[in-house]
Structures are given as structure tokens and as C-alpha cells.
């Protein structure tokens, strides 16, 4: 039923959108990972300077395995930088490290979108857990309204991604502004960090588009069952 259904083309489009964005960020990072910053700062050095400049002396910086697995954990008060960022002196690594620091600053100042995102996490998790079982049961037993409820529950995932996007863009803007104000990068170096963060932001845009297409497909299938 799912394989032969014509709406499956939406899944294919979503897949290629995600792959294209992923390829773009990987290629951009690889390009600017070859360019060393003139100050000789590592990603960890960059993060420490930015955090301290914002009074976040208590935030620890740790190394985490993987490539571009960088993330900030507010509950633990830890900023984790991946193998490709921690000791790298590339302008790409500096951009990524600064971006992660942007999240820490957002939590410090009480940035509204991130508070909203954190507030809806429990609701989104429940909706995400129930959406597909409810949707599939509705389709199997021919209960169109139940299938529609499952599809609408999946919409919470899309809502979460839409709410998350402003935090990603703001973190990048904070990162670039901090890099400039602290004179960590100049000229072409700054341009390389900016290109890296722009490519990363496009992966979030692609993720939203992909989820929106999947959401549309579920709505179409559920509506067909109701009819």
C-alpha cells in the first residue's frame, strides 16, 4: 500500500532534499577545514574565549567522538565539541565552536524562542511517540478519523522544527557577531566561518521541508481513507 501509493513521491523528494543539504554542509566544512586561522586558535580555545567573554566561566568544554557532533547540554552545563572541531585550528572549526557557544548565551539571556522550544519538548515527544501507531491503526482498520488524528499528531514534530529554526539562526548570528567583536577572524577567514554556518543552517531548513512533505503525505493518505 505504501510502496505503490503515488504520494510516496513526497518521501522521495524529502529524502533528496535532506541528502542535498547534508552533502552541502559536509562539502563546505571540508573546504574551510583546510584553511587554518591566523591566530592559531583551536575550536576549544575559541569556545573558551567566547564563553568567558560572556561570563559563562562555569560552562565546561569537553571532547565528544564523531564528526560535527558538537552540541551544548544546558542541563549539564557542558559544551561538547567533536573530534573535527576540538583541536582543529581551521576557520570552519572556529565557526562551529562559536555557534555552539551561541546556544549557551541564549540560555543565559533567556532567549524567548529557546524557552518556547524547551517548553513544548514533552508535548512533542508524546505526539511523536503516538503519531505513527495511531496513523497506521487508522489505515489498517479503515478508521479515517483515527488516521487523521495520527497525521495531526505528527504535525507536532513539524511545529517543533519550525520553533527551533529561529534558535539556530540566532545562534549563528551571535557566533559571527562575537567573532567580529573579538577579532578572532578577519577577511577571508571570517567569510569561511560564515559560509560554514550558512551551510549548516540550510540543513535545518531542509529538515523542515522534509518533515512538511511527510506531514502532507500523511494528511493525504488519512483524508483518502476518510473518503
Catalytic site positions: 100
Distances in whole angstroms, Cα of residue 97 to Cα of each of 46, 91, 110, 115, 176: 7, 10, 20, 22, 11
Quote the distance between the C-alpha of residue 181 and its chain's center. 25
How many Å from the N-terminal Cα to the C-terminal Cα in the chain?
17
What are the residues facing 82 on neighbouring strands? 64
- Which three three-digit cell numbers place residue 127? 505526539
Backbone angles phi, psi at 108, to 5 degrees: -65, -45
Say whether 26 sits in a helix, a strand or coil: helix
Strand order across the 60-64 sheet: 60-64, 78-82, 71-73
Distances in whole angstroms, Cα of residue 191 to Cα of each of 94, 126, 202: 12, 41, 17
Distances in whole angstroms, Cα of residue 23 to Cα of each of 16, 26, 27, 117, 143: 10, 5, 6, 27, 40
Residue ranges in 110-187 assigned as alpha helix (H): 112-140, 144-181
Amino acid at each position: 500500500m505504501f510502496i505503490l501509493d503515488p504520494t510516496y513521491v513526497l518521501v522521495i523528494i524529502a529524502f533528496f532534499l535532506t541528502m542535498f543539504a547534508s552533502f552541502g554542509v559536509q562539502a563546505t566544512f571540508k573546504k574551510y577545514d583546510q584553511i587554518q586561522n591566523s591566530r592559531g586558535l583551536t575550536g576549544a580555545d575559541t569556545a573558551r574565549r567566547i564563553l568567558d567573554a560572556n561570563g559563562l566561566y562555569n560552562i565546561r568544554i569537553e571532547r565528544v567522538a564523531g564528526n560535527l557532533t558538537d552540541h551544548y547540554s544546558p542541563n549539564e552545563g557542558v559544551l561538547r565539541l567533536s573530534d573535527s572541531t576540538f583541536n582543529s585550528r581551521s576557520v570552519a572549526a572556529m565557526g562551529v565552536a562559536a555557534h555552539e557557544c551561541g546556544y549557551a548565551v541564549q540560555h543565559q539571556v533567556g532567549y524567548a524562542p529557546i524557552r518556547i522550544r524547551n517548553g513544548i519538548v514533552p508535548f512533542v515527544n508524546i505526539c511523536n511517540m503516538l503519531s505513527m501507531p495511531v496513523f497506521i491503526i487508522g489505515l489498517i482498520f479503515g478508521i479515517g478519523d483515527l488516521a487523521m488524528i495520527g497525521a495531526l499528531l505528527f504535525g507536532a514534530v513539524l511545529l517543533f522544527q519550525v520553533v527551533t529554526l529561529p534558535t539556530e539562526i540566532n545562534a549563528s548570528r551571535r557566533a559571527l557577531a562575537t567573532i567580529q567583536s573579538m577579532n578572532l577572524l578577519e577577511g577571508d577567514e571570517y567569510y569561511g566561518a560564515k559560509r560554514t554556518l550558512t551551510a549548516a543552517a540550510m540543513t535545518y531548513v531542509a529538515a523542515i521541508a522534509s518533515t512538511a512533505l511527510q506531514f502532507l503525505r500523511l494528511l493525504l493518505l488519512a483524508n483518502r481513507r476518510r473518503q
